[in-house]
C-alpha cells in the first residue's frame, strides 16, 4: 500500500518552544492531508485539513495560531505546534489520500509529543 | 454528538475463533465506511472498506457487513490470530474527504 512517512516519531520539548512535525507521502501525490490528535484511550480527533497551495481548514475549537499547518507541495505537509504547553502533549497523526482519487486514507506512524 | 459509535471498548476471543467488532453510525449521509487497525504508538493501518451500495465486502480473513437500515456495520475476523490483537477503529465519510472515527475497540486474541 501507499506510504506516508511522519517525522519525528517522538519529540520532547520545553514549554514555550515550537515543534515542527513533517508528513510526507512517499509514493503518491496528495492534494489533501489531514492532521489528527489522539488522546489516551480516545478516538482520533481531526484537527485540520491541509490543502496544497492554500490555507488549511481547521476544525472547531482548534487554535489556528497555535497549530500552524503548511502544505507547500503535493508530498509534504507540516504541523508546527507553537509556544507549546504541557497540555499540548499528545499523539499527533497525519493522513493523506492519493490525488488520483483512491478513497483509502493512509496514515503516518504518528508523533508522540511531550512538553515538559 | 458522536456520529460513529463503537460501544464495546474491548473484546477478548480465543485464537481460531471468530472476532466480531461492531460499529453504529447516526449520519445517513455517510456513504463509505472503513476499518483501521492500530497498534500502540503507531498510526492506523487500513484494513478493509465498504461502500454504501454494498452490504458485504470480503478480503481474506476479514469481512465487513453493512446494514444501512440499521445504520450498523461489523467487522468479522475468522480465524482470529494473536497478531490480530490491536485497537480497531471504525470510520465513516460522506460528501467530503473527512473521516469520522469511532472510539475504537481493543481486540485481544488469546493463544
Give the pLDDT score at B26. 95
* Residue of A3, A43, A45, A97 to mutate, interface with B, max B Cβ within 10 Å: A43
Residues of A in contact with B88 (CB under 8 A): none
Flag whether pLDDT at A32 surpasses 70: yes
Q: What is the pLDDT of residues B48-96, one digit of tens each?
A: 999 999 999 999 999 999 999 999 999 999 999 999 999 999 999 887 7
Give the pLDDT score at B4. 93
In sequence order, the 6+-apart residues with CB closer than 8 A to the CB of B7 are B22, B24
Taking all residues of chain B, what is their mean pLDDT, rounded to a whole number? Answer: 93
Q: Report the residue of chain B nearest A49, measured CA to CA.
A: B98
Cell numbers for A12? 520532547
Cell numbers for A92? 499527533
What is the spatial distance between Cα A97 and Cα A2, in angstroms, rounded to a whole number?
9
Give the pLDDT score at A54. 84
Give the pLDDT score at A53. 83
Percent of chain A with pLDDT over 90: 65
- Pick the closest to residue B23 from B80, B78, B88 (CA basis): B88
Q: B9: pLDDT confidence band, cut at 50, 70 and 90?
A: very high
Flag whether pLDDT at A7 surpasses 70: yes
Q: What is the pLDDT of residues B16-45, one digit of tens each?
A: 999 999 999 999 999 999 999 998 878 888
Q: What is the mean pLDDT of residues A23-31?
A: 89
- Pick the closest to residue A115 from A91, A84, A83 (CA basis): A84
CA A57 from centroid of its chain's CA atoms: 12
Q: Do B46 and A105 touch (CB under 8 A)?
A: yes
What is the spatial distance between Cα A111 and Cα B43, in angstroms, rounded to a whole number?
9
Flag whether pLDDT at B14 surpasses 90: yes
Cell numbers for A24? 510526507
Q: Which of A6, A41, A43 sits opposite B101 (nearest CB)?
A: A43
Q: What is the mean pLDDT of residues A77-106?
A: 88
Taking all residues of chain A, what is their mean pLDDT, rounded to a whole number? Answer: 90
Q: Give phi and psi for A53, each to the nearest 5.
A: 80, 5
Q: Which of B32, B49, B102 sits opposite A43 (nearest CB)?
A: B102
Q: How many residues does chain B have?
A: 111
* Residue of A4, A26, A44, A114 to mutate, interface with B, max B Cβ within 10 Å: A44
Flag whether pLDDT at A98 surpasses 80: no
Cell numbers for B96? 467530503
First to last CA, chain A: 36
Amino acid at each position: 500500500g501507499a506510504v506516508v512517512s511522519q517525522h519525528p516519531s517522538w519529540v520532547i520539548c520545553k514549554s514555550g518552544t515550537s515543534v515542527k512535525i513533517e508528513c510526507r507521502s512517499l509514493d503518491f501525490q496528495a492534494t489533501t492531508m489531514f492532521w489528527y490528535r489522539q488522546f489516551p484511550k480516545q478516538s482520533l480527533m481531526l484537527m485540520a485539513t491541509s490543502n496544497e497551495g492554500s490555507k488549511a481548514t481547521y476544525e472547531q475549537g482548534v487554535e489556528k495560531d497555535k497549530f500552524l499547518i503548511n502544505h507547500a507541495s503535493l508530498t509534504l505537509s507540516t504541523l508546527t505546534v507553537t509556544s507549546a504547553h504541557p497540555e499540548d502533549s499528545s499523539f499527533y497523526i497525519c493522513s493523506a489520500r492519493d490525488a488520483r482519487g483512491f478513497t483509502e486514507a493512509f496514515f503516518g506512524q504518528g508523533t508522540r509529543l511531550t512538553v515538559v | 454528538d458522536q456520529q460513529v459509535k463503537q460501544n464495546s471498548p474491548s473484546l477478548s476471543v480465543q485464537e481460531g475463533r471468530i472476532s466480531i467488532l461492531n460499529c453504529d453510525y447516526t449520519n445517513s449521509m455517510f456513504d463509505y465506511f472503513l476499518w483501521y487497525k492500530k497498534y500502540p504508538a503507531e498510526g492506523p493501518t487500513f484494513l478493509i472498506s465498504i461502500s454504501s451500495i454494498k452490504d458485504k465486502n470480503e478480503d481474506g480473513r476479514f469481512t465487513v457487513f453493512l446494514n444501512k437500515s440499521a445504520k450498523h456495520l461489523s467487522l468479522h475476523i475468522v480465524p482470529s490470530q494473536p497478531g490480530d490483537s490491536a485497537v480497531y477503529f471504525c470510520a465513516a465519510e460522506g460528501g467530503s474527504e473527512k473521516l469520522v472515527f469511532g472510539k475504537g475497540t481493543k481486540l485481544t486474541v488469546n493463544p
